Structure 1
């Protein structure tokens, strides 16, 4: 969510990242695995990391011009995003990182308004 002179602007950047990449190939219940049909764990991890990098790059491109950045959410991604912002010389714009549960758009807007009202 961006707060501008025109008001609040909500944008959603959809992640195509699979939480836990699955091995392809036969199921143990349907038949035997053959080693050449099952990708190596490091290959799955590289794919997962590559997809994450694409996602974080999209998020950073969207917020690059922000004066202040508040990061919040339920998982570990917020810390990874902060790290990526620091790598892109944007870490100084991060005004806070908070752990919160899933929120509606209205709750997000209220949280952001409250944060920036307090910081002024």
Structure 2
């Protein structure tokens, strides 16, 4: 595995770029996570069994959290051997992944966390190349 890894991450997918002496490898990890569960105030379902027809908020949240855990575990497995890790992305996922890495005693390898908007795979790879070229 590469010693330097950069990744763009949100709750839907992660683009992992591993920089090695031979070049770079780009991989994509897609999550099975659905959008964060929200419950609308008005329910089209009426009647005495409405509560049985709509999953409870805590049940939906547990399902969402479980899917995220599986996704983050897959991302961590792909970068576990990296010595330097640059994490960036648009939302909360980068910070959640950082906490997971620290919980797995892999936090020492994190060299930076940045907030960026959506990027193409080529932009992500260029950003990672530029970051690690400056840190040599």
TM-score w.r.t. structure 1 length?
0.89
Q: How does 1:94-109 map to 2 (within 5 A)?
A: 94-109=110-125
Query: Relative to structure 2, which stretch is displaced further, 89-98 or 31-40?
Result: 31-40
In 1: Cα distance, 2:38 partner to 2:53 partner: 12
- Matched with 1:9 is 25
Q: CA deviation at 1:106?
A: 1.4
**Where in structure 2 are there 5+ consecutive unaligned residues?**
1-16
In 2: Cα distance, 1:21 partner to 1:115 partner: 35
Query: Relative to structure 2, which stretch is displaced further, 101-110 or 86-95?
Result: 101-110
- Matched with 1:32 is 46
Larger helix share, 1 or 2: 1
- Matched with 1:118 is 134
Decide which of 62, 70, 75 is 2:78's aligned counterpart: 62
| Cα-Cα RMSD | 1.4
Q: Which runs of 4+ in 1 moved over 4 A?
A: none
Q: Count residues in correspondence.
A: 115
**Where in structure 1 are there 5+ consecutive unaligned residues?**
none
Q: How does 1:19-98 map to 2 (within 5 A)?
A: 19-21=35-37, 28=44, 31-32=45-46, 34-98=50-114
Q: CA deviation at 1:22?
A: 6.1
Q: CA deviation digits over 1:71-104, x for unaligned, max 9?
A: 0011111000000000000000000000111111
Q: CA deviation digits over 1:47-86, x for unaligned, max 9?
A: 0000000000000000001111000011111000000000
